[in-house]
A and B are shown apart, each in its own frame.
Chain A
């Protein structure tokens, strides 16, 4: 009996403590990214954490186990709803499959901000903060065409993409590049249907060095005269460069362009590995999201989208040390200050 009393007393004290802390607790907010491993998401988490600390928010972070892990993200949203969060930012792994769970969260009164990868449909979120990936692609396409000048008409282009299922970011960058370069893209939301003879082919890289190298080797076998290489991101570009180096084509005769603006990527521009990249700003996306949730908690006001777009454009800038007339760019010194990862 005595023991039971003690346990009951301990329980009561603990309950009191929990209630006590809850009363003074900060508002809970969340950040859910695709994976832990990608520096892009690491930077996002840093940006969110710094801003949350500054605003006095209690940030809970979650990530999937791999790119495409929808189940872990569903569990993360459920946990946030259960924890009484006021809102969260998410980089969806599966932009369509996560929508019903996001709806649940919104029904429960949470503000949902989608970062980087828009949902399908995009208005399933309260607002989307993202890089305009099509514009990011256009910038490097314009730069490549401008650098080649009249020779652009005879270019031979290798397209190193992300994945077979063509996720949004994949086709937006790919098709944006083509638009910028001056290629008829046919269906603007799907690559591979173009008939421009300048395109050698599309291969997928998984967005990593090993995939980039193998894909580049395959396309070089198909078209030994490739002189422009579009890459989905900078790790894939670094892999492609290794393949070019292996056959002595690292003499600057092949232009490599990319998207992301990570620190290793900017350093690779400085070293002449990559010609130009479109830099995006994950830290900004995440810190803006925290501010937006704070505003929502205080005033109930939801963030607005950029004029003319259905999302808020966090911007992309071309980074290169060989600027081209008519395409606005920053140099690698400036790019290195702003880079992530």
Chain B
């Protein structure tokens, strides 16, 4: 025994002069870029917020007082309301690493159910409204079941239901537009969302914009303060670990798609308020616009990371660019170009931020 002890002591002589510390943290101060990266990783909504502020500053300079006026800024808010509401629904789905190409079709279908039932079929407007909401819920539920139970990729599912809901739009609407004047006479409740509230200084909010903020607040609460919300993030981040942790990922997914369907139906109410009429045409690019808002708002297409606030900022940024460029006299072509460039920049930034955890 003592020999052994002496032997090991001898053996340790060989270590003399070697580093004595067992392990330590790298205490070197990270560079500025690294610190920005870390900051953005912690506060991902900072980017769209900064872009919005910088954009407002640039357009105030380029387009003058026409842009930076309370009325115009509140107008941008009105213009992004529909995409904002659809973007909230889209955020929920993208948080689960999914995608929903059918949001625009669900919105139009719900608006047509509301309009046709109340104005054409003479159903009391309250019942028609509830049927419209139920249509959205049903459409979302179908998407959810196909994704979660049949386990089809969300892209394929919603590509299919986009066509299916699209053909239902034509079937139910008979390709006819219901005029604003007829809705105002028979079912004025459907146009409530368009009612305006003056804020002073020329700024005007519609009820629709306020409802968008309310929906955003509600979904924010669900995401951040309820178990269901945490399940959504967990399922999106890593569905297998979420399942092993005891989360019912199937019903979480179905719940998310159904909730998104309901929000799309609420978007249809906002839509009728804004355009006055119920039309089977229009909003053809609403699904892609909503994805644009989500991506520019910093939500990761890989799921599990992102926020509602970011999406609203993303929608505002797109609206601000279109409005600001138009008022600066820039051709529509270059407005499209600018939005495309914003998407690429947003996704590049997202990839860069993600690298910090690698």
Contact A38 B175 (CB under 8 A): yes
Contact B327 A37 (CB under 8 A): no
Extra contacts besides A235-B277, A235-B282 (14): CB < 8 Å: A65-B163, A202-B332, A208-B279, A213-B275, A214-B79, A217-B78, A222-B66, A235-B281, A242-B275, A246-B196, A268-B179, A271-B181, A273-B180, A341-B177
Given A203-B332, A242-B180, check contact A218 B282 (CB 8 Å).
no
A271's nearest neighbour on chain B, judged by CB, is: B181
A204 to B284, CA, bound (A): 14
Chain B interface size, under 10 / 10 to 19 / 20 to 34 / 35 or more? 35 or more
Chain A, 194-229, CB within 8 A of any chain B CB: 201-204, 206-211, 213-214, 217-218, 221-222
Q: Whole-angstrom distance between the alpha carbons of A239 and B177 in the complex? A: 12
A155 is an interface residue with CB less than 8 A from chain B: no
Chain A residues whose CB sits within 8 angstroms of the CB of B82 once the complex forms: 210
B326 within 8 A of A: yes
A39 beta carbon closer than 8 Å to chain B: yes
Leading 8 A-B pairs by shortest Cβ distance? A208-B282, A209-B275, A208-B281, A242-B276, A42-B175, A39-B175, A210-B282, A218-B326
Smallest CB–CB gap between B33 and chain A, Å? 38
A-B contact pairs, 19 of them (CB 8 A): A37-B175, A38-B175, A42-B175, A65-B163, A204-B332, A206-B282, A209-B177, A210-B274, A211-B282, A217-B78, A218-B322, A218-B326, A221-B66, A238-B179, A242-B194, A246-B194, A264-B176, A264-B179, A268-B179
B169 within 8 Å of A (CB atoms): yes
B333 sits at the interface (CB 8 A): yes
A203 near B179 with CB under 8 A, answer no
**From A38, A192, A221, contact of B72 by CB (8 A):** A221
CB B208 to nearest CB in A, in angstroms, measures: 12
In the complex the two chains form, is B72's CB within 8 Å of A209's CB?
no
Taking beta carbons and an 8 Å cutoff, which residues of A are in contact with B?
36-39, 42, 65-66, 164, 192, 201-204, 206-211, 213-214, 217-218, 221-222, 235, 238-239, 241-242, 245-246, 262, 264, 267-268, 271, 273, 341
Q: Given the complex, which residues of B lie within 8 Å of A267, measured CB to CB?
A: 179, 181
Complex Cα gap A264–B333 (Å): 31
Are B271 and A210 interface neighbours, CB within 8 A? Answer: yes
Q: Are B75 and A235 in contact (CB under 8 A)?
A: no
Contact A213 B281 (CB under 8 A): no
The distance in angstroms between the C-alpha atoms of A37 and B322, with both chains bound, is 28
Q: How far apart sit A218 and B331, CA to CA, in the bound complex (Å)?
A: 13
Asked whether B333 lies within 8 Å of A273 as measured between CB atoms, the reply is no
Kindly state whether residue B338 has any CB partner on chain A within 8 Å: no
A214 CB contacts on chain B under 8 angstroms: 79
- The smallest beta-carbon distance between B225 and chain A, in angstroms, is 34
Q: A38-B281, A209-B282, A210-B271 are in contact. Are A164 and B332 (CB under 8 A)?
A: yes
A-chain residues with CB within 8 Å of residue B331 when the two chains form the complex: 192
Most buried by A among B169, B181, B323: B181
Min Cβ gap A189→B in Å is 18
